[in-house]
Amino acid sequence: MNLTQWMNEKLPLVVDKLEQEMQSRPQSIDDWLDLAGRNEIYEVLDDILAVLFPNHYSKEKVARSDTNFFIADMLRHISFRLGRHIREVFKYRCRKDKCEECNCEDRACKALAYFVESLPKIKAVLFEDVQVALESDPAAKFFDEIILSYPFVEAVATHRIAHKLYSLDVPIIPRIMSERAHSRTGIDIHPGAQIGPRFFIDHGTGVVIGETSRIGSNVKIYHGVGLVAKSPYDKDGKPRTGQKRHPDVEDDVIIYANATILGGQTVIGKGAVIGGSTWITESVPPGTRVYNTK
């Protein structure tokens, strides 16, 4: 059998089986999420990053005299595309929840407006993040070098974008964004995590920050650090939903490589230093230094 014969005789059988599997799902086709796939969300995210960092994330060089036009044009495209996606995920959740009371169109418009209007503040905080990296990393020579080459910039910028959408109760889209950053940088930050300004992740690979984590200002962490839950399940074996599961880190804390901090009631106090490869399950008082002496 040659390739042409196989494609004519056998390939249609594979197509039929795949279609049958889709039709056999418990949900009807009408319940499927009507998005063009995650790749279009990725494209919107890239456009937002280009607005926040023209000439660093834009696809072409933007002259200083053209900056206003570039940002205005990009924001119109972002508003049209992201607004449509927000509307669709709101509708999808309403179908799942059998909600017949809210106006998804109105909610989507308001969420989009709040998000776009928050971009100047997000940009200002991101520039603080980059500035603290320049101040604290001896290997960093230039502001632009950090934006262009440090993986934490894309990870934290994506997080601040996704977190704003998460805080506006937009489902699905924030997680798609955060997982794109995770796959590209090795830094896994749930969009629900609250992170203050002047935040720096040095190196970055293997960092995990859970959904209910709260991080203050001027915090620095290294690769392999985990802010995680002690267990995702309660004593009855059910998922711990709606609970504080992940630690809090107060201002001016440094957490060195491969430290793991667990639990929703665990607080790392202001100015504490957590040494590398430590395992923390209880709160650490402000100003304390914790090291692994084994």
The token pair that represents 35 in the structure block: 């998005």
pLDDT of residue 26: 61
Q: Which pLDDT belongs to residue 246? A: 97
pLDDT of residue 231: 79
pLDDT value, residue 102: 77
Q: Given a cut of 70, is residue 28 above it in pLDDT?
A: no
CATH 1.10.3130.10, the chain: domain bounds: 34-186
pLDDT in tens, 95-121: 877 777 778 889 999 999 999 999 999
pLDDT, the chain, mean: 91
11-29 burial code (b ≥16 CB/10 A, e <16): eeeeeeeeeeeeeeeeeee
Q: Which fold has domain 193-294?
A: UDP N-Acetylglucosamine Acyltransferase; domain 1 (2.160.10)
Q: Tell me which residue has tokens 């005299």.
A: 65
How would residue 29 be classed by pLDDT, with cut points 50, 70 and 90?
very low
Coil, helix or strand at residue 215: strand
Q: Sheet containing 260-262: which strands, arranged edge to edge?
A: 188-189, 208-209, 226-228, 260-262, 279-280
Looking at domain 34-186, its CATH class is mainly alpha
Whether the CB-CB separation of 292 and 273 falls below 8 Å is answered with no
Query: What is the average per-residue pLDDT within 159-183?
Result: 97
Under the banding of pLDDT at 50, 70 and 90, the label for residue 184 is very high
Q: Which two tokens stand for residue 268?
A: 């790392």
| SS3 assignment, position 189 | strand
Return the closest-CA partner of residue 133 out of 26, 3, 5, 222. Answer: 222
User: Residue 128 pLDDT more than 70?
Assistant: yes
Both tokens assigned to 213: 């984590």
Work out the pLDDT band at 145, boundaries 50, 70, 90: very high
**Which residues belong to CATH 2.160.10.10 in the chain?**
193-294
CB-count exposure of residue 106 (10 Å: 0-12, 13-18, 19+): exposed
Reported as a single tens digit per residue, the pLDDT across 47-87 is 999 999 999 999 889 998 999 999 999 999 999 999 999 99
String of b and e for 133-147 (b: at least 16 CB within 10 Å)? beeeeeebeeeeebb
